[in-house]
Amino acid sequence: MINENRQLIANINAQRAELEELNQILGQADAKLRMDDKKQKYKILKEQVTTLEKKKEELEIQTNEVSSAIDGKLIMRIEQFEFPRGQRQTARESEG
C-alpha cells in the first residue's frame, strides 16, 4: 500500500510538471501570437501612413497650383481696376 501511494504521488507530480511545462509553452505561444498581431498592425499602420503622406504631397501640389492660378487672376483683376481702359499695362511692362 505504501509503495502504491508513493507511485501515485510520483505520477501526480510528473503530471503536474508536465502540466506546468505545457502552461509555459502555451504562454510563450500566446506571447508570440500577440507579437505577430502587433507586427501585422504595425505594418498596416505604416502602409496607411505612407499612403496618407503621398496624398498630403499631392494635395499640397494641387493647392500650390490653384493658389498660383488664383494669384494670377487677382493680379489681372487688380490691374484692370488700377488702370483706366486704354491705359492698361501690366506690372512687367511698367518695369521695362
User: In three state form, how does the secondary structure of 61-85 look?
Assistant: HHHHHHHHHHHHHHHHHHHHHHCCC
Q: How far apart are CA 13 and CA 8, in angstroms?
A: 9
Residue of 73, 72, 82 whose CA lies nearest to 94: 82
On the question of pLDDT at 87 being above 80, the answer is no
State the pLDDT at residue 81. 77
HSE-CB of 86 using CA atoms within 13 angstroms: 0
Question: What's the maximum distance between 2 C-alpha atoms anywhere in the chain?
Answer: 126
| 8 A C-beta contact, residue 80 and residue 87 | no
Domain that holds residue 78: 2-95
Q: Which residue has the higher pLDDT, 61 or 84?
A: 61
Over pLDDT 70: what percentage of the chain?
A: 85
